[in-house]
């Protein structure tokens, strides 16, 4: 006690005047005012931040989808993901391809194609399971039950008799659900039509290029030219503007698809309904902004591998009629000196020897395009099928064979130039097989597998003829790009299939957002009432406090008097006094 200083707080009113407002009440009054003020202003940011963080959490939740493309040359699995939809009906789902830790797309291919299980359909599911086991490693296990799975087969399966298709699909439907918990009802396993395949490829590229986006945001999308679209709403013709879409040509192993938007109803009237596809990518029924009319057609048997088979059959037939079966057959579409043995559908083996003549090859494959088939309505493309005039100011993208044929061996994938392509192809075909195979062994063509390399000469001639002679693109056309990835994203038709098949998913989020907006506007209304009430209460409390304080002041001594009264006293030891040199009387306080 001796060595310590004690501090006393003396109220100015705690004198001997008989105070009517004890200090404790003053503090209570102050506390009430502070509490009332805090209760009004503190919840605002808190409530808003709660709403914001809740919404952010909701949007960050990821959803997954798996699509397996069962093509004629093999089956390939793709994994996609998307965050919860924004709830804005103008937005489509933001579907992205899943990448692994090294930034590579999660994709796996198994060969041969699903159609090769024609005689053993019970083994088809094992083939697909291998792909699913791979894909599911990249998806969080708790998401399996809400992950959608589509197994979609194309040209290879289309070429099988229906009974064989059914047997294979049945095996998949029965077996896959036993081992995997993905969402995969029966209709998620199907053989899609060529038209669907074309439309899906068209959707995929336009989606990735941002051509379906109706906002001006996004670098590529904002650079897209604007198109006037004439359509009909009810009885009236309307015109609206939106981004110009690009056309596609997709050449697989078995079939070829071409699809492009028809933006003028006057032209679409000329197009047979079977060649026109109208669809709405929006989640709401009368969504004109997302409704597109696309000319789409498919040519089964016009894919590069099927065309090669037809070509070999044609050579065999010609040789049988002309040379009475002299073998090996001389083949202008194989590199000079290359020998090739092929088995036909009857199990017969035929030998071919390459002559390496690219121009002669182009002429030789022409009859396979069936350009002389009567054309009931002009103009026609392959096989007598009507094709409206193509607007050459619009862009086209070429997929699959168009990409592999240009890129794998020639290294010129991307913007297409007729002259460059022809010169590369001519040079390749005419180079002797001995030289070419030497280069191949030195790994100078790392992207090309053995099959691609052997048939590159044929495939490049076929691709060129289909593009220019069959589909009538002039050799001067400069707006064609072969592509596999665009903006780093895979633009295969599987992405388009998922976009199309999940187009109604946002509906739930659109409804949820509308409800939330409703609730939040109600909440804001009731909250503003609360705030008004609280403010009035606060004013009342403050006014009362002022009145009480004024009354209390009257009972207090004047400030001048108070100045003589010690407000805070130190009680110090003798030692303290000496050390601080203060004038101090023992036991008496001093004014601070
Ligand atoms: N370099 C390379 N070539 C490929 C690849 N995938 C397929 N090809 C080749 O491209 C050709 C066409 O293959 P896809 O585009 O997969 O066609 P598909 O799905 O088998 O055929 P469709 O059933 O007609 O759609 C095949 O003959 C293959 O030789 C690949 O990943 N890399």
**Residue 197 appears among annotated catalytic residues:** yes
Q: Is 589 annotated as a binding residue?
A: no
* Lowest-pLDDT range of 28-37, 96-105, 143-152, 314-323: 28-37
Please say if the pLDDT value at position 310 is more than 90.
yes
How far apart, in whole angstroms, are the C-alpha atoms of residue 279 and residue 265?
A: 15
CA-nearest of 35, 26, 25, 42 to 538 is: 35
Pocket test for ligand 1, best of 68, 71, 460 (most atoms within 8 A of CB): 71
Residue 484 burial (C-beta neighbours within 10 Å; 0-12, 13-18, 19+): middle
Check whether 403 has a pLDDT greater than 90. yes
Give yes or no for residue 114 CB within 6 A of ligand 1: no
CA distance 209 to 248: 13
Q: Which helix (H) or strand (E) holds 226?
A: strand 226-233
Helices first, then strands: H and E counts in the chain: 18, 21
pLDDT beyond 90 at 298:
yes
Q: What CA–CA distance (Å, rounded) separates 60 from 44?
A: 24
* Helix H or strand E segment including 70: strand 62-70
What's the token pair of residue 555? 């009972």
| pLDDT interval class at 401 (50, 70, 90) | very high
Q: What is the DSSP string of 234-286?
A: TTEEEEEEEEPP-EEEEE-SSEEEEEEE---HHHHTTS-GGGEEEEE-SSSTT
Closest among 482, 155, 493, 154 to 309, alpha carbons compared:
155
If you average pLDDT over residues 368-397, what whole number do you get?
Answer: 93
CA 290/CA 267 separation, integer angstroms? 20
CA of 394 to the centre of ligand 1 (A): 26
Structure confidence at residue 13 (pLDDT): 39
What's the CA-to-centroid distance between 535 and ligand 1, angstroms? Answer: 72
Ligand 1 mean position, distance from CA 202 (Å): 18
Cis peptide before 112, with omega less than 30 degrees from 0?
yes
Catalytic residue among 162, 190, 197, 407: 197
Q: How far apart are CA 399 and CA 410, in angstroms?
A: 16
pLDDT in tens, 470-484: 999 999 999 999 999
pLDDT in tens, 546-566: 777 777 766 655 544 444 434
Give pLDDT, residue 376: 84
Pocket lining: 254 vs ligand 1, CB cutoff 6 Å: yes
Could you tell me which residue, 27 or 298, shows the higher pLDDT? 298
Q: Which of 107, 115, 199, 303, when mutated, tests ligand 1's pocket best, judged by the most ligand atoms within 8 Å of its CB?
A: 303
404 in ligand 1 pocket by Cβ < 6 Å?
Answer: yes
Q: What is the mean pLDDT of the chain?
A: 81
pLDDT digits (tens, 9 = 90+) for 442-497: 999 999 999 999 999 999 999 999 999 999 999 999 999 999 988 878 889 999 99
Q: pLDDT exceeding 90 applies to what percent of the chain?
A: 55
Q: How far is CA 264 from CA 96, 121, 395, 400, 528, in A?
A: 32, 46, 17, 29, 52
Please report the pLDDT score of residue 565 as a whole number.
39
- Measured CA to CA, the distance from residue 117 to residue 122 in angstroms comes to 8
Label residue 49 by pLDDT band (50, 70, 90): very low
Q: Of 233-247, 263-277, 563-577, which gets the smallest average pLDDT?
A: 563-577
Return the ligand 1 atom nearest residue 400 CA: 15
Q: Is 71 in the pocket of ligand 1 (CB under 6 A)?
A: yes
Q: What share of the chain is helix, strand, coil (3-state, %, to 5)?
A: 45, 20, 35
Max mean pLDDT range (228-237, 324-333, 339-348, 359-368):
359-368
Nearest ligand 1 atom, CA 452: 29
Helix (H, G, I), strand (E, B) or coil at 303: coil
pLDDT, position 217: 39
**How far is Cα 57 from Cα 201, in angstroms, rounded to an integer?**
33
Q: Whose CA is nearest to atom 10 of ligand 1?
A: 401
Which residue is listed with tokens 């062994």?
Answer: 441
Residue 409 marked ligand-binding: no
CB 154 less than 6 A from any atom of ligand 1: yes
pLDDT band for position 290 (cuts 50, 70, 90): confident
Confidence of residue 343 (pLDDT cuts 50, 70, 90): confident
CATH architecture, domain defined by 304-387+407-485: 2-Layer Sandwich (3.30)
75-79, 152-156, 389-393, 502-506: least confident range: 502-506
Residue 256 annotated as binding site: yes
The CA–CA distances, whole Å, from 233 to 241, 274, 285, 288 equal 15, 22, 13, 8
Alpha carbon of 539 to ligand 1 centroid (Å): 78
Question: From ligand 1's centre to the CA of 406, what distance in Å?
Answer: 13
Q: What is the pLDDT of residue 241?
A: 79
What is the mean predicted confidence (pLDDT) over 20-29?
Answer: 65
Q: Which of 67-81, 310-324, 346-360 has the lowest mean pLDDT?
A: 310-324
Is the CB–ligand 1 distance for residue 451 below 6 Å? yes
Whether the predicted pLDDT of 200 surpasses 60:
yes
Radius of gyration of the chain (CA): 40
Residue 405 reports pLDDT greater than 90: yes
Ligand 1: residue whose CA is nearest its atom 25: 252
**Is the shortest distance between the CB of 257 and ligand 1 below 6 Å?**
no
Domain ranges of the chain: 304-387+407-485, 567-592
Q: Does the interface ipTM go beyond 0.90?
A: yes
Per-residue pLDDT, averaged over 157-177, amounts to 96
Whether 570 has a pLDDT exceeding 50, the answer reads: no
Q: Is the CB of 116 under 6 A from ligand 1?
A: no
Indicate if ligand 1 lies below 6 Å from the C-beta of 408: yes
257: annotated binding-site residue? yes
What is the pLDDT, as a whole number, of residue 474? Answer: 97
156 lines ligand 1 (CB under 6 A): yes
> Is the pLDDT at 92 greater than 60, yes or no?
yes
Which residues are 129's β-sheet partners? none
Question: DSSP assignment of 108-136, as one string?
Answer: EEESS-GGGGTT-GGGHHHHHHHHHHHHH
Tokens coding 505: 């998913």
Alpha carbons 542 and 549: distance in angstroms, whole number = 10
For ligand 1, atom 19, the nearest C-alpha belongs to: 71
Summarize the confidence of residues 408-412 as an average pLDDT.
Answer: 96
Q: Is 74 annotated as a binding residue?
A: no
Which pLDDT belongs to residue 481?
Answer: 97
**Is the pLDDT reported for residue 572 higher than 70?**
no
DSSP letter assigned to residue 383 = G
| pLDDT for 590 | 29
**In angstroms, rounded to a whole number, what is the distance separating the alpha carbons of residues 171 and 501?**
23
Q: Which atom of ligand 1 lies nearest, measured to the CA of 407?
A: 1
Q: Which numbered atom of ligand 1 lies nearest the CA of 158?
A: 23
Q: Would you place residue 348 in the very low, low, confident or very high pLDDT band (cuts 50, 70, 90)? A: confident
The more confident residue out of 397 and 502 is 397
Residues 130/133/135/136 CA torsion (nearest 10 deg): 160
Judge whether residue 7 has pLDDT over 60.
no
- Tell me, using a 6 A CB cutoff, whether residue 87 lines ligand 1: no
Q: What distance in Å separates the CA atoms of residue 426 and residue 69, rounded to the nearest whole number?
A: 33
pLDDT band at 156 (very low <50, low <70, confident <90, very high): very high
**Cβ–Cβ under 8 Å, residues 172 and 189:** yes
Q: Among residues of the chain, what percentage have pLDDT more than 70?
A: 72
Higher pLDDT, 556 or 426: 426
Axis crossing angle, helix 450-465 with helix 418-430, rounded to the nearest 10: 130
Q: Does 39 score more than 70 pLDDT?
A: no
Instruction: Say which range, 168-182, 222-236, 569-583, has the weakest mean pLDDT.
Output: 569-583
Closest atom of ligand 1 to 154 CA is 23
């Amino acid at each position: 006690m001796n060595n310590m200083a004690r501090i006393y707080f003396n109220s100015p009113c705690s004198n001997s005047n008989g105070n009517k407002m004890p200090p404790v009440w003053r503090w209570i009054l102050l506390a009430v005012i502070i509490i009332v003020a805090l209760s009004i202003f503190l919840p605002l940011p808190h409530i808003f931040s709660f709403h914001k963080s809740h919404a952010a959490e909701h949007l960050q939740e990821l959803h997954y989808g798996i699509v397996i493309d069962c093509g004629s040359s093999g089956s390939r699995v793709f994994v996609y993901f998307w965050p919860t939809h924004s709830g804005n009906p103008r937005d489509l789902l933001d579907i992205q391809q899943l990448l692994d830790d090294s930034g590579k797309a999660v994709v796996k291919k198994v060969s041969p194609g699903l159609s090769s299980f024609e005689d053993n359909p019970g083994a088809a599911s094992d083939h697909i399971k291998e792909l699913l086991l791979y894909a599911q490693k990249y998806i969080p296990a708790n998401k399996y039950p809400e992950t959608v799975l589509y197994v979609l087969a194309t040209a290879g399966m289309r070429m099988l008799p229906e009974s064989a298709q059914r047997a294979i699909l049945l095996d998949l439907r029965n077996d896959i659900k036993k081992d995997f918990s993905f969402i995969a009802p029966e209709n998620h396993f199907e053989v899609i039509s060529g038209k669907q395949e074309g439309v899906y490829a068209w959707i995929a590229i336009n989606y990735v290029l941002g051509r379906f986006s109706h906002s001006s945001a996004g670098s590529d999308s904002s650079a897209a030219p604007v198109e006037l679209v004439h359509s009909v709403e009810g009885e009236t013709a309307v015109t609206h503007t939106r981004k110009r879409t690009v056309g596609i040509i997709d050449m697989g192993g078995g079939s070829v698809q071409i699809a492009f938007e028809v933006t003028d109803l006057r032209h679409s009237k000329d197009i047979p309904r079977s060649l026109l596809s109208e669809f709405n990518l929006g989640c709401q029924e009368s969504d004109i902004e997302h409704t597109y009319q696309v000319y789409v057609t498919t040519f089964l048997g016009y894919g590069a591998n099927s065309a090669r088979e037809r070509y070999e059959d044609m050579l065999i037939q010609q040789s049988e009629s002309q040379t009475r079966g002299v073998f090996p057959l001389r083949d202008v579409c194989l590199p000079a000196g290359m020998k090739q043995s092929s088995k036909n559908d009857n199990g017969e083996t035929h030998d071919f020897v390459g002559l390496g003549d690219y121009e002669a090859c182009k002429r030789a494959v022409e009859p396979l395009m069936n350009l002389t088939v009567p054309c009931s309505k002009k103009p026609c493309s392959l096989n007598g099928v009507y094709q409206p005039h193509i607007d050459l100011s619009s862009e086209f993208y070429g997929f699959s064979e168009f990409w592999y044929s240009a890129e794998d061996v020639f290294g010129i994938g991307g913007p297409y130039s007729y002259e460059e392509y022809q010169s590369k192809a001519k040079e390749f075909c005419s180079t002797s097989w001995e030289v070419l195979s030497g280069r191949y062994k030195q790994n100078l063509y790392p992207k090309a597998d053995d099959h691609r390399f052997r048939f590159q000469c044929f495939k490049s001639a076929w691709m060129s003829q289909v593009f220019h002679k069959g589909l009538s693109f002039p050799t001067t056309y400069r707006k064609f790009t072969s592509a596999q990835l665009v903006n780093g994203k895979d633009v295969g038709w599987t992405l388009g299939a998922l976009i199309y098949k999940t187009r109604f998913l946002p509906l739930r989020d659109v409804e949820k957002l509308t409800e939330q907006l409703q609730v939040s506007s109600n909440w804001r209304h009731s909250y503003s009432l609360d705030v008004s009430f609280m403010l009035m209460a606060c004013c009342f409390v403050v006014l009362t406090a002022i009145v009480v304080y004024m009354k209390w002041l009257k009972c207090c001594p004047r400030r001048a008097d108070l100045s003589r009264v010690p407000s805070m006293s130190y009680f110090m030891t003798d030692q303290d006094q000496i050390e601080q040199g203060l004038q101090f009387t023992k036991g008496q306080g001093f004014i601070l």
